Chains A and B, each alone.
Chain A
Amino acid sequence: MSELKFIEGYPEYMYKLIEIVHETRSARLKEKPRFMTLEEREEVLKIHPDYAPGGKREIRIGPNKGDVAPNEVVDLLEAYPLINPNEIDLNNVDYEPDILIIGGGLAGTTAALWANDNGIPAENILLVTKLRHGDSNSVMAQGGTQAADRPDDSPIIHFIDTMGGGHFANKPDVVRALVEDAPSIIKWLVELGAMFDRDENGYFLELSGGGASRRRMHAAGDYTGLEEMRVVRDEFRNRGIPCLEFNPAIELLTDNDGKVVGAVLWNMETREYKIVKAKATILATGGFGRLHIRGFPTTNHYGATCDGVVLAYRAGAKLRDMDTVQYHPTGAAYPQQIIGLLLTEKLRTAGAQVVNVDGEAFVNPLEPRDVEASAIIRECYIRNKGITTPTGIRGVWLDIPMIDLVRGEGSIKKLFPGMVRMYNRFGINITKNPVLVFPTLHYQNGGVETDPYGQTNVKGLFVAGEVSGGVHGKNRLMGNSTLDCLVFGRRAGITAANYVKSGVKIGKLTLNHVEKYVKELENTGIKTSRRSPILLPDYRGKAVLARMIDVF
């Protein structure tokens, strides 16, 4: 780095290329790239990491045997448990709540509040989470939450948009629940005190999102998920609902009927296990970005390691749509310190264009995410019109300064304080200069199959949020993820509460399903040292790992 000359946060050679972006901006303002035809979309999608060869394989065991999923996911499904069921003492129960919620993001926390509202006393709920309560993908959601509340919009249109975005693979009844609950869940948040962006007359300031045919994004600057999470968490804490941090579930418990009846937790700091016996278990563990599927960087938080899917699968839960992965088109590609971090789609809805090395806007900025991402990969690696960073990463420009030209001076600062701040930390002023972007691993489209009430095919096991599958089909739309957490957090909380109130008889606690799964692994001839869930990624230096001695 020392021999590179830097201008406003960029090495000199990149800064020279930025001049081209400046020069072409006014022309690009007038001529916007058209949308692709369905045929053109099909063509460009061939380079999408989901469809490019070599990324996926068949799952050989379990309820989804024969289905295809990314190698990194299959690796975890075809892996041995962290515990030996024979060594776990299930007779000493440490916690005995009515409802166990695994996962401390927006979905899990929302579920806790609604279970409490529906007759489960706070002390009979237990929320456990791997990191701190709220350290989740939820807080990183920037763009907004969809809810069709404007007069020219309707839940019907939201439904159609969501189905189309998901390539019509979504479960329609689940999507209906998503869109019909959306306005009332926004109201719930407002009544809890969440501050959404409003205009001077008190109306929500709503922008559109890729794949949405109306403006229905409810945002709070570019801290939307953070605002939703912290308000809901604050209320959770006011209610006195018990929460265990740094205590991930490492296995579910089943009884002799095969119902899910709690979990084995692992206290990451003391390294002891704890037994939770619960009448109902809600899984809200989020997604899998930290698996770095196909070697992509990710927008996801530190703990996004697919744990919930692994646990549920062993307990017999069916998965769906695990074959598709959402790559966000615009992850940071420069500087090195923030590679893969999210640049919200809202930047493009607000007017920023995606531009190649010659200053051409080569793709309409509002194509669905998979199409947009593929177009960027094609531009960089097939048409060779990307920009290469000093560390060898290719990307294209996201022309953020255009937003101020379209929406008026100061709009970038007002709409995207978080982005302005992040780039400022590395010496780049995004109100003046474009930033370099490349697709980044963003979202687990599929997951544990849910019905409209957050129920899975396994009795006693409920799901909400990113861990679930069915609502987004093969591709999630912007603004539907926080909505998913909220709507199905509420639904799973209520359904679980009703399930508990209907009278649940728990038989003997067992890990029979794990034993059975291990046998199936062995019988299928899967010999591996892999163990799952992995809980956290490992980024320690190679030299350190090579000389590591595990003493304590």
Chain B
Amino acid sequence: MKIPYYPGCTLKTSAKNLEVSALESAKVLGVELVELPRWNCCGAVFSMATDDLIHQLAPIRNLIRVQEMNEKGIVENENRVVVLCSMCFNTLKRSNMFVKEDKERLEKINNFLSDTEEPYQGNIEVIHFLELLKNDIGFDRVAEKVKKPLKNLKIAPYYGCLLLRPEEIAIDNPQSPKVLENLLEALGATVVDTQFKTRCCGSYQTVNRKELVAELAYDILNQVKISGADCVVTSCPLCMFNLDTRQEEVKKAHPEFKTIPVFYFTQLMALAFDLGESFYRFDLNYVNPKPLLSEKIF
């Protein structure tokens, strides 16, 4: 199965560990995620103003690129595009809805783009990799490929906001999502439910108010510890940064705080598939997870 894949800038820079682990795991599951031959920034944040069309150009241009992949025969009749980064997913999917629900907006954007692009037809579908795992591949098939079950690992899933809010674009029930839980169970891990799993990580506040974000991370990570989990799993590079890298600030504010590893779900999948170090890239995680893993798994 070949399906267009939109990486986003972060996966090419600070979140290479998310990308390599996902692409290789997908291969094991018989799916080739084909990177868009040409793409631009997703738009970084969905613009809420309904008349602010210029900020829709970036996401819509990417959807046109997916169209082009079909026209050029790079993929066959595949009008979906898989996204890994939660922020990109959120932005692309919302922009897609935004133009689909109002033909006039779409026309205006298409007119603006018409010097260099074919018009966007409005029939591309933006899906998250977790949706592909759940709906197309199935967690049973995931379980079949597990070579090294994560059975001693107690994991707290953390969704953050971007996969679940607003409700119209949610990949799962926004109040009590289950998709990460189901995946982790398929990988053989013990899932630990925490109170704050859909709470905001602080998002872009991390740029200018890192103390605030450190406090949020402190709260979330303490909840994880209280629940008895060994580690956290997330799907989002921004959540990863705020929960993982910001532990440095948490330690400064709370000297008693002990660091706790945070993983991308794809890293754990690659680990359970036993794909090898080069596909885990734990070196890019701020809190070194190796002590925990050697204690629990190896």
Touching chains A and B, CB distance < 8 Å:
no
